[in-house]
Amino acid sequence: MGSKAKVIVLGGGVGGTFVANKLARHSQQVQVTVVDATGSHHYQPGLLYVPFKQEKPETLRYDERKLLHPEVELICQPVIRIEPDRRRLFFSDGYLEYDYLVIATGCCPAPEEIPGLQEGGHHFYSEPDAIRLRDALETFEGGHIVVGIGGFPYKCPPAPIEFTLLLADWLEQNGLRNKTKITFLSPLPQPFSIPTVNPLVEELFARSGITSECFFNAEAVDPQRRMVSSLEGTEINYDLLILIPPHRGSPVVDASGLGDKGGWIPTDRNTLQAKGHDNIFVIGDATDLPISKSGAAAHFEAPIVVANLLALVSGQSPQTSYDGSVLCLVETGKGTGTILRFNYDRPPNPPKPTRYYRWVKHFMNRFYPLAVLKGWSLTLFLDSLRRVPFQRPPFCGSEEMISLKDRQ
């Protein structure tokens, strides 16, 4: 038997961890190493609930080593750059060689791209920022809350909508809704980016008394005047500003010359190989694919990366194709949720919000650590459930018992 192929997975987030654990099942063919800067795995979807004290930050952090298959080696050290031609990752004190590389470096909020946003605004896309927003809400006594999208792309497209609806519920529960105006800012002609979903969003906003300001491309924030201004010349005053920053690819991608001007890696939309580098695969937020940047996308991409990488190891051409599938469970407020399922060619058609979808979303949040360790894809599991009737959870009324098949 020949020597094993050396596979390095760069990044210990959802995409990198899933790929590593799936590859570990083929230890006769590959030797898998995960390289992660900190070795701390963050369950980012849970940050949505931190500002409302529905999640504690420490419960969203996991030891990456405990999430990895025993066959997978873990190196906790920042990578300075990648040299694809030499097949090496460089650290501050040395380098590591590979035969195949999976880039799962995610993306980073870039609030510095909007002057004044770091000083005058909030968001929940990192643990420190979610905690800071939690503290701001704790002292909020009423006024004008402005929530919005500061630029594209950003992680988890539904998250700002989810936050706004949960915020309206939180204000009501704390006796502040009648004292507070909520305005949602969007750079687009509608609140949400997907036209087939937008009518539902507008209906939910109307139900919760949320107003929208569209065609608002945030240009600057003035913390002293508590004002956010747009490229279109509009100025809006606020008492509390929650503006989702534009995002960029990882700095190591820029340092390695692998990305475009936004730091996104040009990626084959079907094989998930980095364009121009057949032995490099890209997964999750690091790609430039025309799909949402979300853990849900990484769940669907992981089996494709594994299958095509193993094909190359076996001397074959990649044959498995990713169709752009994404599946997201979405909070819709008032204790309900819905589901978005789409791909490159088929837009989502969200079913009526029910308590059941929210129950499934929270169940999946709790099930996540075990699923990652086993290499089970939660979204593929959910996709299979779309073909059979769901059972009614105990707390739902009879009107909540649904069949996803019937809702398609």
347 and 403 fall within a common domain: yes
124 lies in some domain: yes
342 and 396 fall within a common domain: yes
Mean pLDDT, rounded, of the chain: 91
DSSP-derived letter for residue 195 is T
Does pLDDT of 402 surpass 50? no
- pLDDT tens by residue, 100-115: 999 999 999 999 999 9
**Domain end among 200, 228, 247:** 247
pLDDT at residue number 313: 97
292 and 206 fall within a common domain: no
**Domain end among 258, 292, 313:** 313
Mean pLDDT of 327-335: 95
Phi, psi of 114 (to 5 degrees): -115, 105
pLDDT at residue number 400: 29
280 and 370 fall within a common domain: no
123 and 225 fall within a common domain: yes
321 lies in some domain: no
55 lies in some domain: yes
Please report, for residues 168, 262, 295, the alpha-carbon distance to residue 266 in angstroms, rounded to integers and kept in the order given: 39, 11, 19
130 and 242 fall within a common domain: yes
Confidence band of 222 (pLDDT split at 50, 70, 90):
very high
- pLDDT tens by residue, 232-283: 999 999 999 999 999 999 999 999 999 999 999 999 999 999 999 999 999 9
117 and 228 fall within a common domain: yes
pLDDT at residue number 390: 35
- pLDDT tens by residue, 143-173: 999 999 999 999 999 999 999 999 999 999 9
- pLDDT tens by residue, 341-384: 999 999 999 999 999 999 989 988 888 777 776 666 655 555 55
Which tokens hold the place of 142?
């009423």
Does pLDDT of 33 surpass 70? yes
- pLDDT tens by residue, 46-82: 999 999 999 999 999 999 999 999 999 999 999 999 9
Give CA–CA dist 41/44, Å, rounded.
Answer: 9
User: Which residue do the tokens 């003035």 mark?
Assistant: 222
CA quadruple 150, 155, 157, 160: dihedral positive or negative?
A: negative
3 state DSSP class of 174: coil
**Domain end among 247, 275, 303:** 247
Give CA–CA dist 107/154, Å, rounded.
Answer: 8
132 and 183 fall within a common domain: yes
The sheet that has 227-230: what strands, in order across it? 218-222, 227-230, 235-237
344 lies in some domain: yes
Residue numbers of the domain that contains 228:
110-247
Does pLDDT of 32 surpass 90? yes
138 and 220 fall within a common domain: yes
318 lies in some domain: no
Does pLDDT of 389 surpass 60? no
320 lies in some domain: no
125 and 234 fall within a common domain: yes
Which positions ≥6 away from 362 have C-beta within 8 Å? none
pLDDT at residue number 312: 98
72 and 11 fall within a common domain: yes
Q: Are 151 and 137 in contact (CB under 8 A)?
A: no
Give CA–CA dist 98/132, Å, rounded.
Answer: 40
How many domains does one find in the chain? 3
268 and 162 fall within a common domain: no
319 lies in some domain: no
- CA geometry: angle at 185 spanning 167 and 364, to 5°? 45
For the domain that residue 187 is a member of, what is the CATH number? 3.50.50.60
